[in-house]
């Protein structure tokens, strides 16, 4: 049995998710907070697997057939990112160094906050539906069902490794973020990423 579908799924998935974006920033921040960080990574990877499977097995056409749903998702996602961006910029302005008791909009303190934020970043981005589902559908359609399953498995492996890598990076930089100036730089950068992503959604 050839591993070409698995390899293609792995590479294609990484090419779609490695760019700096709000979900990646969230996972790094969750890692830095050391609060349910790997739970956030697992939820993100499972959501990715769900969306990849939808695309690979041809269900992405359902979304594109209902243009209004894309418009609603776009504005809902933009509003959500603006809300988080404003909170993160505010944190950057008032940063006093990261500590275990600080309030951080991107650093969940409970399991429910972790689940809510991870699901929000996974599903409140319409470009995930259009790009990931559409591209996965196009790339996976060339294979029969057994080979397509390998394709999805390769993509899921890429998501799992990348998201857990981001969380681990967050754990490693957590001590650096104890410094107020470092916290301002990091949160300010994340806030700009969130606002930029919101603008991209709104005008895209």
CB-CB contact of 45 with 159 (8 Å): yes
Spell out the residues 6+ positions from residue 62 whose beta carbon is closer than 8 angstroms to its own.
none
Q: What is the pLDDT of residue 39?
A: 93
**DSSP assignment of 117-156:** HHHHHHHS-HHIIIIIIHHHHHHHTTS-HHHHHHHHHHHH
CB-CB contact of 195 with 26 (8 Å): no
Q: For residues 48 and 45, give the distance between their C-alpha atoms in angstroms, rounded to a whole number.
A: 5
Q: For residues 144 and 140, give the distance between their C-alpha atoms in angstroms, rounded to a whole number.
A: 9
Q: Is the dihedral of CA 81, 87, 90, 91 positive or negative?
A: negative
Q: What is the pLDDT of residue 157?
A: 93
pTM of the model: 0.70
Q: What is the pLDDT of residues 152-190, one digit of tens each?
A: 899 899 999 999 998 998 888 877 766 777 777 777 877
Q: How confident is the model at residue 63 (pLDDT cuts 50, 70, 90)?
A: low
Query: Cα dist. 111→23, 37, 116, 136 in Å?
Result: 17, 10, 9, 31
Hey, what are 8's tokens?
């293609």
Phi and psi at residue 98, to the nearest 5°? -80, 135
Q: Which of 81, 109, 91, 83 is nearest to 187 (CA)?
A: 91
Q: For residues 11 and 15, give the distance between their C-alpha atoms in angstroms, rounded to a whole number.
A: 6
What is the mean predicted confidence (pLDDT) over 128-154? 75
Tracing tokens 């970043």 back to the chain, one arrives at 121
Q: Tell me 8's DSSP state.
A: H
Q: Cα 110 vs. chain centroid, distance in angstroms?
A: 19
H-type helices in the chain, by residue range?
A: 4-17, 22-33, 37-56, 60-64, 67-93, 111-123, 126-127, 134-140, 145-173, 180-203
Mean pLDDT lowest among 22-26, 69-73, 119-123? 69-73
Phi and psi at residue 107, to the nearest 5°? -120, 95
Q: What is the pLDDT of residues 85-111, one digit of tens each?
A: 787 788 777 755 444 444 455 666 788
């Amino acid at each position: 049995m050839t591993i070409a579908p698995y390899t293609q799924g792995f590479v294609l998935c990484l090419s779609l998710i490695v760019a700096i974006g709000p979900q990646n920033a969230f996972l790094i921040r969750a890692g830095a907070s050391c609060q349910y960080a790997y739970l956030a990574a697992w939820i993100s990877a499972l959501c990715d697997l769900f969306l990849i499977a939808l695309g690979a097995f041809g269900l992405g056409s359902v979304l594109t057939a209902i243009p209004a749903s894309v418009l609603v998702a776009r504005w809902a996602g933009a509003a959500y990112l603006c809300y988080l961006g404003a909170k993160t910029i505010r944190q950057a302005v008032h940063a006093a160094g990261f500590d275990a008791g600080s309030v951080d909009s991107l650093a969940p303190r409970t399991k429910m906050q972790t689940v809510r934020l991870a699901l929000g970043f996974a599903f409140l981005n319409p470009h995930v539906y259009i790009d990931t589902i559409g591209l996965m559908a196009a790339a996976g359609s060339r294979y029969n069902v057994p080979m397509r399953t390998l394709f999805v498995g390769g993509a899921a492996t890429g998501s799992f490794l990348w998201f857990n890598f981001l969380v681990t990076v967050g754990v490693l930089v957590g001590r650096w973020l104890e410094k107020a100036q470092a916290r301002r730089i990091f949160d300010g950068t994340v806030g700009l990423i969130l606002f930029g992503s919101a603008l991209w959604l709104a005008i895209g």
